[in-house]
Amino acid sequence: MQVLASKHPGSPLQTRPVWSGGWYKFAHHSPSPNFGPRPPAGTISLVVVHSISLPPNQYGGHQIEEFFHNTLDHNAHPYFKGLEGVKVSSHFLIKRHGELIQFVSCLDRAWHAGESSFKGRSNCNDYSIGIELEGAEYDGTFEAIQYEALSSLCSSLVGEFNITNFAGHEHIAPGRKKDPGAGFAWKLFQRSLGLADSFFPST
Ligand SMILES: [Zn+2]
């Protein structure tokens, strides 16, 4: 368990763990009702990187959070009509200015991957952690501060869980999903983590 060192002996920071019940201390916690238990014997080994924007290609609103909370106003935009009744979530969202929000405990199963398979193993939601980057569904680029937040989060995830791979939604649901897309800099992400090629998609 990682513990933040404190310059102020006796302060609560000294003993407050970075991870508590699967919740990350440095994220804003905004619990979503959209989750379930992981399979009993399941170990968490995969991180899935996504991108999302609501409405498509528009940034800065709170519609993604509302979507994950089942409170999206479906009359507010024509695109939202198609999302009516759709219940999804991710463990984390990193917004354009680097704000990190956590919706589901990493110990629970968030609903981010859908029908999916990684290295012959289906149902990626069972054994993965989902991270959404606020960005265009594909071909969009991401802000430097989003990479910084993602890198900090993922290095902590690697320290806390038995993570062996990172993949994009496009890699675990090819033909159905295109996010995060060609605009996501996997090499930059890899360099920031200092992990071997074997952790990352071969593209
Ligand atoms: Zn996705």
Answer yes or no: are the C-beta atoms of 80 and 54 closer than 8 Å.
yes
> What pLDDT is recorded for position 53?
96
Nearest CA to 50 out of 5, 120, 110, 126 is that of: 110
Q: Which of 132, 134, 148, 170 is catalytic?
A: 132
d(CA 4, ligand 1 centre) in Å: 31
Answer yes or no: are the C-beta atoms of 91 and 153 closer than 8 Å.
no
Entry pTM: 0.92
How far CA 120 is from CA of 36, 180, 193, in Å, comes to 23, 21, 26
d(CA 130, ligand 1 centre) in Å: 8
Domains and CATH numbers, the chain: 23-199 (3.40.80.10)
Q: How confident is the model at residue 31 (pLDDT cuts 50, 70, 90)?
A: very high
What are 121-162's pLDDT values in tens digits?
999 999 999 999 999 976 789 999 999 999 999 999 999 999
CB burial readout 82-120, b (16+ within 10 A) else e: eeeeeebbbbbbbbeebebbbbbbbeebbbbbeebebee
> What pLDDT is recorded for position 67?
98
> What pLDDT is recorded for position 16?
84
What are 190-202's pLDDT values in tens digits?
999 999 999 999 8
Q: Is the pLDDT of residue 100 over 90?
A: yes
- Residue 20 has a CB neighbour count (10 Å cut-off) of 11
The answer to whether residue 84 is catalytic is no
Q: How confident is the model at residue 52 (pLDDT cuts 50, 70, 90)?
A: very high
**HEC per residue, the chain:** CCECCCCCCCCHHHCCECEECCEECCCEECCCCCEEECCCCCCCCEEEEEEECCCCCCCCCCHHHHHHCCCCCCCCCHHHHCCCCCCCCCCEEECCCCCEEECCCCCEEECCCCCCEECCEECHHHCEEEEEEECCCCCCCCCHHHHHHHHHHHHHHHHHCCCCEEEEHHHHCCCCCCCCCCCCCHHHHHHHHCCCHHHCCCC
d(CA 110, ligand 1 centre) in Å: 12
d(CA 177, ligand 1 centre) in Å: 7
